[in-house]
Amino acid sequence: MDAAALTSRFPATQDLAGKDMPTFRVAGADLLAAVRFLRDEQGFDLLADLCGVEWKDRPTRFGVVLHLLSTTRREYVRLHVDAVNDRVPSVSSLHPGANWHEREAYDMFGIVFEGHPDPRRILMWEAYPYHPLRKDFPLAGIEVELPAADVAEVTGKKVVPAPMMGGPFVSHGGKLSEGEPAALDQSWTEDKPKA
């Protein structure tokens, strides 16, 4: 990885001196050009991961982290980009595999990827009013009416969400490593009646 080539081409880029791989903070305005440069001129031809992240102690609350891999040199580079006004340019035109990653980051954090070809939610239904991986979203969730009867049990007039397979988290004390949380099994099957 030629860090000097990246930072000289994109002067707003900061070298974050990552411990496990070269890590850089790239300005949103430079993101597409920087990813294209890394792909076409530095050989980082595979987008290995893209995810949303929330920082409570930074002026820009949300950001995106990308991991790019050079399949020929077997080398990674990590890029951080701040989501200014909760927006980041989409890189799906350069790496089509980013499509679903960006949709998930939108669905879970509310980060909008400008230029995305299909900006629909991917896990929650389209009218769902929240973004469940935000730090201010309660662990137990927020009760909302589900849009379709096939994903809910109807009890009288109240709509109750279908059973959660393994949430919310509970501690099992010494059964696992000390104090490690594990999921409470709230599922049911024909062999195990509902609680």
pTM of the model: 0.74
Q: Which of 42-56, 113-127, 140-154 has the highest mean pLDDT?
A: 42-56
Give me the chain's average pLDDT, please: 83
In angstroms, the Cα distances linking 114 to 6, 45, 54, 60, 108 are 23, 22, 19, 17, 16
- Tell me the percentage of the chain whose pLDDT exceeds 70: 75
Q: Which residues contact 153 (CB under 8 A, 6 or more apart)?
A: 160, 162
Domain spans of the chain?
A: 3-114, 163-195
Q: Which of 60-64, 147-151, 168-172 has the highest mean pLDDT?
A: 60-64
Domain 3-114 has CATH 3.30.460.80: yes
Residue 14 bridge partners (DSSP): 25
Task: Summarize pLDDT for 55-80 with one digit per residue, the tens.
Answer: 888 889 999 999 999 999 999 999 99
Length of the chain: 195
- pLDDT at residue 24 greater than cutoff 60: yes
